[in-house]
């Protein structure tokens, strides 16, 4: 996995609350057996009409947001289905960080497996960042994972919390299967003990 470096990019505002993973990537695109190529269908039903033409009002169709790398979103982003196709589509489009007051649990975890940084901030901070994002492509937001801050184009800065292990994996681009396999002796020991304690499992 690619390392998450400091990010200075365009942020797109999506104030709608409860943006679910069906919106992020509708099920018709889940029939792939690959991880790549989903960016073109990110937010498909909001982004295109039935004939496949772009809906000009939709934020990522607006010229100033086409190269957005950050989303500032309403509460409870990524709720619903566990489909990892949602972060795959975001990543493939070029989104590297999503900022909201809250994320659904499975989506939040899925982001870290794909080099995307989800940032949780209080409502007041998200409100300020949403306003900054509304300025368009002239406003570059800065996400500094190492120092755990997000800064507006005007330099107003907000600190965010992140689990140290998740931060470490993201910064180093670590494959966590590899890390867990290093613990194989502990897994062996657990299985030996569990097969005594709960042989019916």
Site residues (vs other proteins, CB under 8 A): 15-18, 20, 22-23, 26-28, 30-35, 45, 50, 74-76, 79-84, 87, 102-106, 109-110, 113-114, 123, 163-165, 176-177, 179-181, 183-184, 186-187, 190-191, 194, 197-201
CB closer to other proteins out of 74 and 94: 74
How far apart (Å, rounded) are the C-alpha atoms in residues 190 and 14?
45
Least distance in angstroms from the C-beta of 162 to other proteins = 12
How far apart (Å, rounded) are the C-alpha atoms in residues 25 and 22?
5
How far apart (Å, rounded) are the C-alpha atoms in residues 41 and 100?
22
CB closer to other proteins out of 67 and 175: 175
CB closer to other proteins out of 146 and 190: 190
CB closer to other proteins out of 56 and 155: 56
Least distance in angstroms from the C-beta of 40 to other proteins = 16
Q: How many CA atoms lie within 13 A of 40 on its CB side?
A: 5
CB closer to other proteins out of 76 and 137: 76
Least distance in angstroms from the C-beta of 62 to other proteins = 18
Least distance in angstroms from the C-beta of 54 to other proteins = 16
Least distance in angstroms from the C-beta of 98 to other proteins = 15
User: What is the separation, in whole angstroms, between the first and last Cα of the chain?
Assistant: 35
How far apart (Å, rounded) are the C-alpha atoms in residues 77 and 28?
21
How far apart (Å, rounded) are the C-alpha atoms in residues 67 and 53?
19
Residue 21 CB contacts under 8 Å (≥ 6 apart), including other chains: 78, 79, 80, 81, 82, 83, 85, 86, 104, 107
């Amino acid at each position: 996995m690619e390392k998450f470096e400091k990010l200075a990019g365009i942020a797109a505002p999506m104030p709608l609350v409860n943006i679910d993973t069906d919106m992020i990537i509708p099920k018709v695109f889940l029939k792939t057996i690959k991880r790549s190529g989903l960016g073109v269908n990110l937010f498909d039903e909001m982004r295109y009409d039935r004939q496949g033409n772009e809906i000009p009002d939709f934020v990522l169709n607006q010229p100033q947001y086409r190269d957005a790398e950050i989303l500032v979103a309403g509460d409870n982003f990524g709720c619903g289905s566990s489909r990892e196709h949602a972060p795959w589509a975001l990543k493939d489009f070029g989104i590297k960080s999503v900022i909201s007051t809250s994320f659904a649990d499975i989506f939040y975890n899925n982001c870290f497996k794909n080099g995307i940084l989800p940032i949780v901030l209080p409502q007041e901070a998200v409100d300020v960042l949403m306003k900054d994002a509304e300025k368009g492509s002239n406003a570059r937001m800065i996400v500094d994972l190492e120092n755990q801050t997000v800064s507006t184009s005007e330099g107003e800065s907000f600190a965010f919390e992140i689990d140290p292990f998740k931060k470490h994996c993201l910064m180093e681009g670590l494959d966590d299967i590899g890390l867990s396999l290093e613990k194989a002796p502990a897994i062996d020991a657990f299985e030996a003990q569990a097969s005594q304690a709960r042989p019916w499992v």
